Structures are given as C-alpha cells and as structure tokens.
Amino acid sequence: MPMRLLVAQSGGPTAVINSSLLGVIEAALGEPSISDVYGAIDGVEGLLEGQVIDLGREDPTTLRALRQTPAAALGSCRYKLRPEDADRVLARLEQFGVSALVYIGGNDSADTAHLLAGRARELGQPLQVIVVPKTIDNDLPITDHCPGYGSIARYVAIGLQDVGRDTEAMHRVDQVKIVEVMGRNAGWVVAASALGKRDAADPPHLLYPPERRLAEDEFLAEVEVVYRQVGHVVAVVAETVRGVDGELIGTGDREVRDSFGHHRLVEPSRRLTALVETRLGLRARYDRPGTFQRMSTLHLSPVDVAEAHDAGRKAVTALVAGETDQMVILIRPDGPYHCEYGLAPLAEIANREKLLPEEYVPTPDAFPTSAFRSYAEPLLGGPLPEHARLKRYYVSFPR
C-alpha cells in the first residue's frame, strides 16, 4: 500500500533549509510507493493544531524556486514535546493517514523525531521517521558537516574581510570593532570568520570561540597589544562566550531559557565594547549580524545548496528502504573533496553536541589552522574575494 509522507521544518532557519525541502518533495513526488506529500506548517507545533498542506498541489515553478529561497518555507518552531504531546502528534499523523515523517532540523529536532519514533514503536503505530540535518552551528555529531554551515561560513568569512577594511579606514574614529557571531556552544562559525585572513594585518585579529574561556583582563591586554601593532582591532566573539567562572558574558538576563533549556542571548559584544572604552580609553563599536548571517543568500555556497538538496532526497530513499529513527549524515571520503551520504541512529545524535576539535581551534594570532582550512574551505563553494591594500608611497615635500 502506498505511503503518505509528511515533511516539516524546525529550529533556526538557514540559507539552504528549503533546498533540503525541495529535495524531499521532488524525490517523494517521483516515488511510486508514495501516494501523497504533505507539509506541516510551523513544525510539530503546527501539526498539533492540524495545520497541514498538500505540497503536491503547489506550482512546480514555485517548488523549484525553493532551492534559492532562505528561511523555512513551511514555517518553523522551537517546541519541546512533552510526553503527552507525542501521543497527540501521532494521533494527528494517523488522522491524516501519514506513515512517513521527514523532519528537517538540528539537535532539538533530532530529539523530537527520536521521541516520536520511539513512541510510535511502543504503540505499534506504523510510522517511519527520518531527520535531514540542518544547522548553521555545525554541531551535530557523526555527520562530517551540516547543511547550512557552508553558507554561513562563507558569509562570515567575507563579512569579516569587509568589516575589517571598514575598521582600518575609520581607525581615527573607532579603533576597535567587536563582531558577535552565532554558533551556540560550538566555535565552528567563529573559526570560519578567519578563513579570509592572509596576513597579520588582515581581520580578524582576535577570536573567542565558546570553547575558550574569556578572562576580561587578558582580553583587554590582547586588544591593547594588537592596537599597538596594527593601529586598529577587529575581534570576533561567540554569542555564548563564557568567563573564567563559566558564566555567560553579557548584559542581558542569564537565567532566561527556552523550552529546550538554551539560554537567551546576553550580548557579550556590548559588554566587551564598554570594557574597551572604559578601561583602555579606545573608541569601540560592536556589530551583531543576527539572523542575517544564518539565512542570507548574498553569499550562498553552491556546495551547501547542492548537498542540502541531496540530503533531502536521501531521506526519501531511506524511507522507501524501510528505515526509521535515523538521520541522514554527510560523509567525506579521502581524496579530492566530494560528499557521500549515509544514516546514523537518532539515539546517537539527539541532545548531543560536536564542539570544535582542538586541531581546528584558531591560533592565538587568529589564523585558521591548516587542518581547519582543509576541512572548511571546500564547503565555501569557491574562492573568497581578495581585497587590495595600498602600499602607500608617501610623497616628501621639500622644506
């Protein structure tokens, strides 16, 4: 009997999450064993309310445009299922005749999908569940990398080249620029911000991933050293950077958390900017790209777009093969870069994080390690722009 498939998106959107959605839809519509392809609006939260659409009725031109459309076309959510919610979701799926679920998301989405797959087994409900990975944080275990990371890596690498030249040009006005980037508890995005760095004068000059505790006195000393050497300073800090006491650095409410227990962001860049001005007497500014960085199509990585799309197709292949309670993973074989796909149990992924390995942590002078360059540069989808710096041959006037 043909299966009815439902796909949903969850968590923070990316620039390529809809490319994965398109991959799922295309593969499912072309699969004889799948009768209908539905979409849940706003993830499991919308599904609980019965907000389901028929994706098979969408215009093919609209669907094709998903490949280059950012954010989540189906809508997203951050909703932690309670035990009683799982039964309600399963009842909704049964009500719509759905026996195959594809959930596109990150750590928290893996937790949700794993809970649903397990509860369906307990109830004897015929439901297969496959997750397509999605996160700019790049912190899912087992998979080599995550769709969404290549594009944010390209975005921050180019962005730091640009903001660095702005800071260099305005060094008489603002001597220090602090850029705060996303990434949750892992430093993959912080590290990517230095991929355009070629010499000591290039930004960023200082990097503070969440894996490194930030001692404020040491931070100020490092800023002062770079300022004396270069004449201006560009530092990149993780949104979740912590002090030596393990507490989040920032000016906001450290105790507010979402339903998954994640802290509300507390803007460390604002606090560090104030420290630089009050303690060092240097004029400073901070930039927080915010959601621009995670979903901007200005610097889409074509590699990221293609891999996200293929990961969506692989999810349907897995369902047709009878798999469930699994996540599609990206595999990097030896040799010239290319990507293959496999599956990993959700039990080994849900609620786990992959932090930046020691060999990828940037050097103290903010240069990417050779190991990290080898890992990250193929994901950018092409070379970064090369900015010019004038030699500045000064003219001497006769006295």
Phi, psi of 340 (to 5 degrees): -120, 170
Which strand (E) or helix (H) includes residue 90?
helix 83-95
pLDDT reported for residue 399: 76
Give the fold, CATH level 3, of 3-147+298-348: Rossmann fold (3.40.50)
Active site (annotated) includes residue 137: yes
Encode 294-330: b = buried (16+ Cβ within 10 Å), e = exposed.
bbbeebbbebbbbbbbbbbbbbbebbbeeebbbbbbb
- Among 83, 84, 90, 11, smallest CA distance to 260 is for 11
Considering the segment(s) 152-293+355-380 as one domain, its CATH architecture is 3-Layer(aba) Sandwich (3.40)
Chain-centre distance for alpha carbon 379:
13
In angstroms, rounded to a whole number, what is the distance separating the alpha carbons of residues 209 and 268? 12
pLDDT reported for residue 360: 96
Selected catalytic residue, list 42, 108, 137, 287: 137
Where the chain has pLDDT below 50, the residues are: 254, 256, 258, 262
pLDDT reported for residue 256: 47
pLDDT reported for residue 317: 98
pLDDT reported for residue 334: 95
Which strand (E) or helix (H) includes residue 54?
strand 52-54
Alpha-carbon separation of residue 205 from 149, 236, 329, 383 (angstroms):
22, 8, 34, 21
Class of residue 107 by CB neighbours under 10 A (exposed 0-12, middle 13-18, buried 19+)? buried
Helix ranges (DSSP H) in 170-215: 188-192
Q: Where in the chain is the domain with CATH 3.40.50.450?
A: 3-147+298-348
Q: Where in the chain is the domain with CATH 3.40.50.460?
A: 152-293+355-380
pTM score: 0.94
